[in-house]
Structure 1
């Protein structure tokens, strides 16, 4: 996980700080988006538990 924050030597990087910032920002966005969506989900999005209906 931590290795991803070090820029590869084959990739011409102008600013290592910019590289680390972009990787860290991407990590925050891609892990934070599902958490935010889950937090603000509507009650209608939750499926009803199976076995509640009386129909065969």
Structure 2
């Protein structure tokens, strides 16, 4: 009997790639590159979004 996979909600801003490593182009004294790690501000670095809740309008 086939198993159904759970649907994971991927962040629409980062497409699941929540952290990016960006090189600055400079080198440290030991010869390695200086790298900045930047996380997605929408999902706070998780790569997933929470399911949309029920919105109630009016009274």
Point out which structure has higher relative CO (alpha carbons under 8 A, 6+ apart). 2
User: Highest Rg: 1 or 2?
Assistant: 1
Q: Considering fraction of residues, name the structure with more strand.
A: 2
Fold match, TM over 0.5? no
State the TM-score, normalizing by the size of structure 2.
0.29
Q: Considering fraction of residues, name the structure with more helix.
A: 1
State the TM-score, normalizing by the size of structure 1.
0.30
